Amino acid sequence: MKTAYYDSQFGKIQMKYEKDTLLLLKAGVNVTEINEPSPFTDYIYRQICEYLNGERKVFDVKYKFNGTDFQERVWHILENIPYGEVMTYGEVARKIGSPKAVRAVGSACGKNQLWLIVPCHRVIGIKGSLTGYAGGIEMKEKLLRIERFGKTHNM
């Protein structure tokens, strides 16, 4: 597994990958390993820049989940929340057939290791509140604003 780092408006972006498969994508990290960018990570970074500039709605990236069966069921639902739309934690819980697992859905969202690609920022509280986001509420709000208004944000 290799690691690459890129600059963004949300701090350093970290990518862990093997060949042409993304294993982890995080923002706001500290550089802790050797930077090993590749044409594959450059390609992902270009897509992230396009997304943050309001120019891209769908990512074209091969990736692999690494979680429990429950977490992966949640993440598969998140993959299918359309750009610019949101879903509540309760709606996600119902979609996976576990309507009482709202807190567990929140926990699974918090363990999502594929920032932006698997859009956990599109999951909100029942009354529209922007609750619980690993990158912080400010980041969640900015991402939803990009999707809603297509605002340009420079990397």
Which 3-state string (H, E, C) describes 12-47?
EEEEEEECCEEEEEEEEECCCCCCCCCHHHHHHHHH
The CA-to-CA distance between both ends of the chain, in Å, stands at 26
CA distance 61 to 147: 19
Catalytic residues: 120
